[in-house]
């Protein structure tokens, strides 16, 4: 078990070494970067926005239900919603969702290329396929997913706002005061760094399992499942580690 873990880790590190070598042709890799950005980041916007708006609304409802004490100002509903969003939802939860979405995309795409010998064909041409195919994916998600986190934060606050306007459960001005109350900019940094780390985990792990897929279409399915499970477990672990270090 431990031997197996060390073996896999070693293979993963060797894989990363091939990924992070100098691109053959910068121009082609940059073009690939934009292709991956659209596929992995831009296409995730609708899903993340949809989930965030609902979560924002639900957080407002739950918080207000739990704050029945007349001594607590209603403003705290906005404050608590904001803190929940920025500290945990917009980074960790969003990344767990992305692990499913882009993780399965990356690993099934690379897995299919592996079993249909497209990766072999690339190697035969003398191209470092790991570098050409994987590096743009890792860079696009690691650099740009933090923007998704920011968007999720804003849309989540908007969701809270909308539910208050629609139901009138508290005064809108209380909510607006609350979400500006005792604002700690460092939490944003913390959240963005977490997202960058988690995105690196998602893209590199799922690329690793896809790139090394064997055993036909069953193998592709297996690699996608394994990628999502391992990436999610690592996200939770690193969430703990980063939170311990940074907060």
- Of 16, 127, 150, 234, the residue at the interface with other proteins (CB under 8 A) is 127
Cβ distance to other proteins smaller for residue 120 or 241: 120
Cβ neighbors of 123 (< 8 A, separation 6 or more) are 129
Taking the complex as a whole, the smallest distance from the CB of residue 36 to other proteins amounts, in Å, to 11
Is residue 236 a contact point for other proteins (CB under 8 A)? no
Report 154-213 residues binding other proteins (CB under 8 A).
none
Report the SS3 class of residue 145.
helix
Cβ neighbors of 160 (< 8 A, separation 6 or more) are 56, 57, 59, 60, 78, 81, 175, 179
Report 28-67 residues binding other proteins (CB under 8 A).
28
Question: Any idea what DSSP says for residue 42?
Answer: G
Q: 203 with 141: CB under 8 angstroms? A: yes
Options 125-133, 152-160, 176-184, 210-218: segment touching other proteins (CB under 8 A):
125-133
- Of 125, 166, 182, 245, the residue at the interface with other proteins (CB under 8 A) is 125
Is residue 11 a contact point for other proteins (CB under 8 A)? no
- Of 11, 17, 120, 147, the residue at the interface with other proteins (CB under 8 A) is 120
Report 93-112 residues binding other proteins (CB under 8 A).
112
Ramachandran region of residue 236, left (φ > 0), alpha (ψ -120 to 50) or beta?
A: alpha
- Of 20, 61, 118, 200, the residue at the interface with other proteins (CB under 8 A) is 118
Instruction: Residue 101: name the closest of 142, 190, 41, 176 by CA.
Output: 41
Buried b (16+ CB within 10 A) or exposed e, 176-205: ebbbeeeeeeebbebbbbbbbbbbbbbbbb
Cβ distance to other proteins smaller for residue 73 or 216: 216
Is residue 113 a contact point for other proteins (CB under 8 A)? yes
Residues near other proteins (CB under 8 A), total: 16
Cβ distance to other proteins smaller for residue 114 or 194: 114
- Of 66, 116, 173, 214, the residue at the interface with other proteins (CB under 8 A) is 116
Is residue 121 a contact point for other proteins (CB under 8 A)? yes
Render 118-135 in DSSP notation, one character per residue. Answer: HHHHHHHTT--HHHHHHH
Is residue 70 a contact point for other proteins (CB under 8 A)? no
């Amino acid at each position: 078990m431990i031997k197996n873990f060390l073996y896999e880790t070693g293979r993963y590190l060797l894989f990363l070494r091939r990924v992070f070598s100098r691109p053959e042709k910068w121009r082609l890799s940059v073009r690939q970067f934009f292709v991956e950005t659209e596929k992995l980041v831009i296409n995730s916007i609708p899903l993340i926005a949809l989930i965030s708006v609902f979560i924002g609304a639900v957080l407002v409802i739950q918080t207000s239900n739990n704050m029945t004490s007349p001594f607590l100002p209603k403003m705290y509903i906005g404050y608590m919603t904001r803190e929940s969003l920025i500290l945990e939802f917009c980074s960790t939860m969003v990344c767990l969702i992305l692990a499913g979405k882009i993780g399965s995309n990356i690993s099934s795409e690379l897995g299919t290329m592996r079993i249909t010998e497209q990766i072999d064909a690339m190697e035969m041409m003398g191209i470092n396929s790991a570098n050409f195919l994987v590096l743009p994916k890792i860079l696009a998600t690691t650099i740009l997913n933090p923007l998704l986190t920011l968007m999720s934060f804003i849309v989540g606050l908007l969701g809270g706002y909308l539910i208050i306007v629609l139901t009138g459960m508290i005064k809108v001005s209380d909510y607006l005061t609350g979400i500006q109350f005792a604002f700690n900019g460092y939490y944003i940094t913390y959240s963005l760094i977490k997202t960058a780390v988690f995105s690196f985990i998602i893209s590199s792990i799922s690329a690793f399992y896809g790139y090394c897929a064997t055993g036909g279409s069953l193998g592709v399915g297996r690699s996608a499942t394994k990628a999502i499970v391992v990436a999610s477990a690592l996200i939770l672990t690193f969430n703990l580690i980063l939170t311990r270090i940074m907060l």
